[in-house]
Structure 1
Amino acid sequence: MIIEPRMRGFICLTSHPTGCEQNVKNQIEYIKSKGPIEGAKKVLVIGASTGFGLASRITSAFGSDAATIGVFFEKPPVDGKTASPGWYNSAAFEKEANNAGLYAKSINGDAFSNEVKQQTIDLIKADLGQVDLIIYSLASPVRQHPVTGVLHRSVLKPIGNAFTNKTVDFHSGKVSEITIEPCSGDDIENTIAVMGGEDWAMWIDALKDANLLVEGATTVAYSYIGPSLTEAVYRKGTIGRAKDDLEATAFAISDRLASIKGKAYVSVNKALVTQASSAIPVIPLYISLLYKIMKEEGIHEGCIEQIQRLYQQRLYTNDAVPTDEKGRIRIDDLEMREDVQAKVAKLWLEATTENLSEIGDLEGYRSDFHHLFGFGFDGVDYKADTNELVDVPSIK
């Protein structure tokens, strides 16, 4: 079939298998170009199919020659209908890993569930014995609690008062003002239940109880802080409460891992174009301005550059892992430079529909958004008849 992008708001309803494969290949080549990383050799990535999770799997495999198990929840293709992009990303990753002689297997299912945790435990026992790095990179709007059965839904809302500020429709480029009403009822608790640290701790407990963690095992979850411009809807909003919970959980997990000399970290990463960030009002405008400045300064990074630097310069050095005063790894250091944020704040006041294409990088935003779904890559013939029925080799 001829596969074209079909947009609906901040979602693309189609994805391109060849384009997704090219995306994975590009990231692999970047990692190879940066040289070997003396990192973990048996890696579990929970949320492994897109974004930072995918970049972590690629960096582990092609930077450290690691065996990897990836857990994700993606929609497989059916005749005449494409899979979700994470499915094609994972298919491409396994293909490239197998060609390189690297162990790579995947599990497709609800990572919040006890069943998927047990399936993962069984696979590690059978194939790897133990793991030395666990990346936790889930990004889901809902979670069915494995104990209570309650379905929790997260919300992206401010706390206390309505929030009004600029935003942009990144498809049309129209800058407008938006008001987001504050959360109510159980919104905070539900958001923490979905995006906080409870499930991360459940994973680590399950792995430790099954004796699947090597001595000195490390686990890392990903978070975001961001600037004062976005804090009302992000870091001081419902999602911020969840991130606070995630960060507090790192200390609790580290205490539980002390007996095996293990450690849990939260890595605060840079703002990037993802399906999740595209859905948050205000964030697309901020990212458009940020991209413009960071590219001009020569310090822009995508997911793969961020994770390569996280591994090479933070996790796997001969020195202690550097953290901030709250114990967090800060790989958002370039984004949060004072000079960068001052320029963003100035441009924010100036931004209009008419000038955003000049003072911001809206084209870069759109390009990255299309890349999420496998569109817009050089060297891919998007007019060619393409087989949508691509398998992930290890998933039968």
Structure 2
Amino acid sequence: MMSDKMVKISEKLKGNVARSVNPYGCRQEVINQINYVKGKGHYDGAKKALIIGGSSSYGLASRITQAFGSGADTISVAFERPVKDETMLGTAGWWNNIYFKQEAEKAGLLAKNFNGDAFTEDMKKQVIDYIKGEFGGQIDLLVYSVAAPKRSNPNNPDEVWRSQLKPIGKEVTGYNINLQENSLFEQTIEGATQEEVDATVHVMGGEDWEIWVQELKDAGVLAEGFKTILYSYIGSPVTYDFYHEGTLGKAKDAAEESSHKIQKMIDDIDGKSLISVSKAVTTKASVVIPIFPVYCIALYKVMQEKGTHETPIMHKDRLFRDMVYGNKPEFDERGRLRPDAWEQDEDTQKKTVALMKQITPENFNTDLTAYSTFRKEFMQINGFEVDGVNNDSVDYDEITKLRP
């Protein structure tokens, strides 16, 4: 029975940052993703999986496909904001964790949520202790899917590294999208300093991934045949200034070096360290990367017409089902898995670049592009515009009793 304390909710954006959430919409989005995976049937994947950054986007999708595609027990580590009061109902990831756990437990699966900073030694110790004491003693999969704004130096906690989304060696001007105003505007981003490049590598590279694997191995909680995977992105040359050849690109290069180091760590347990190059999708992070949203609304239009457009759950389920645990792996010359091949298809890229040249502030929000898809996918991250969910209020007493 509903209480009398119904709290009104509505979409609130500040630029490209969501300032509100619909918990019931988040629940339905989690269920929708679960149903997608169930519809694909069972595959023989992980049985005990740890996802660092498992509360949203690619991390959540990775967790869902392991649990409901392979029957895995899962642990997620994520830093999400809980409910504060009736005006601040927490983050979408907070609710994703809660509702994922509900559904996993209904299916008879273990689902443990750790809410806190994955970079800290304390969090690593908590997770290891849980694996040893309550999770069967070992894991066979670690997914590292972290998009963080900052990280403290583990050797000097007073030093804080902050990641930057910037080009290197030049300033770059291009169109970006303001989701709040539904407008296209010109933006100039200055080049990063070497200090900013180094800080971004510390935060978004593979340093912490290495530490996690080393400490898990030292603790004896990695199973024979253990696999670990980190997500990278290359994309189109039109986004290289900000991504592949920018600060984030440097971080991803460093992550590949980390993968090689990790491989040496786990050779003796027949382990495998993987880098997977993902396709462009709508996330909380991707909407604030300059020029990238304009690329997305063109790319999505082309891929929709070809029938190859994917959301995070579609992309990650295919990755694990077909490539990591299946018989259809696609590796490049550097040993990276390439499920982004559909995005990188020559004809797809040619048509996307041509379409980008046609986009103007006057026509970007028309049938010429997939802006409506891009915006809807972003709102769905926060529980809004979810098909079948039309509530304009939530039962505050009910939702505040829920814990991740």
Alignment TM-score, normalising by the size of structure 2: 0.95
Contact 1:45-1:135 within 8 A present in 2 as well: yes
How many percent identity over aligned positions?
Answer: 42
Query: Partner residue of 2:110?
Result: 103
Q: Cα offset for 1:178?
A: 2.1
Mean alpha-carbon deviation: is it higher for 309-318 or for 264-273? 309-318
Query: Partner residue of 1:352?
Result: 360
Q: Cα offset for 1:318?
A: 4.7
Cα distance per residue 1:186-228 (max 9 Å; x no partner)? 0111000000000000000010000000011000011111100
Q: Cα offset for 1:313?
A: 1.0
Task: Determine which of 29, 47, 57 is the counterpart of 2:53.
Answer: 47
State the secondary structure of the residue aligned to 1:334.
helix
Task: Determine which of 307, 310, 313 is the counterpart of 1:304.
Answer: 313
Task: Determine which of 324, 333, 348 is the counterpart of 1:325.
Answer: 333
Structure 2 residue runs without a partner (length 5+): 1-6
Instruction: Indicate whether 1:182 and 2:191 are aligned.
Output: yes
Query: Partner residue of 1:142?
Result: 150
Query: Partner residue of 2:171?
Result: 162
Query: Partner residue of 1:368?
Result: 377
Task: Determine which of 95, 100, 108 is the counterpart of 1:88.
Answer: 95
Structure 1 residue runs without a partner (length 5+): none
Task: Determine which of 230, 253, 256 is the counterpart of 1:247.
Answer: 256
Task: Note the aligned Cα RMSD (angstroms).
Answer: 1.3
Q: Cα offset for 1:6?
A: 1.4
Contact 1:170-1:362 within 8 A present in 2 as well: no
Pick closer, same or farther for the CA change 1:171–1:126 going to 2, 3 Å: same
Query: Partner residue of 1:152?
Result: 161
Contact 2:131-2:138 within 8 A present in 1 as well: yes
Cα separation, 2, equivalents of 1:3 and 1:264: 43
Cα separation, 2, equivalents of 1:244 and 1:365: 28
Query: Partner residue of 1:131?
Result: 139
Pick closer, same or farther for the CA change 1:260–1:85 going to 2, 3 Å: same
Structure 1 letter corresponding to 2:132: K
Q: Cα offset for 1:300?
A: 0.7
Cα separation, 2, equivalents of 1:325 and 1:252: 18
Query: Partner residue of 1:342?
Result: 350
Query: Partner residue of 1:120?
Result: 127
Mean alpha-carbon deviation: is it higher for 231-240 or for 23-32? 231-240
The alignment of Structure 1 onto Structure 2 pairs a total of residues equal to 393
Cα distance per residue 1:39-97 (max 9 Å; x no partner)? 01000011010000000111000001100011110011123120110000010000001
Contact 2:62-2:143 within 8 A present in 1 as well: yes
Cα separation, 2, equivalents of 1:171 and 1:347: 23
State the secondary structure of the residue aligned to 2:341.
coil
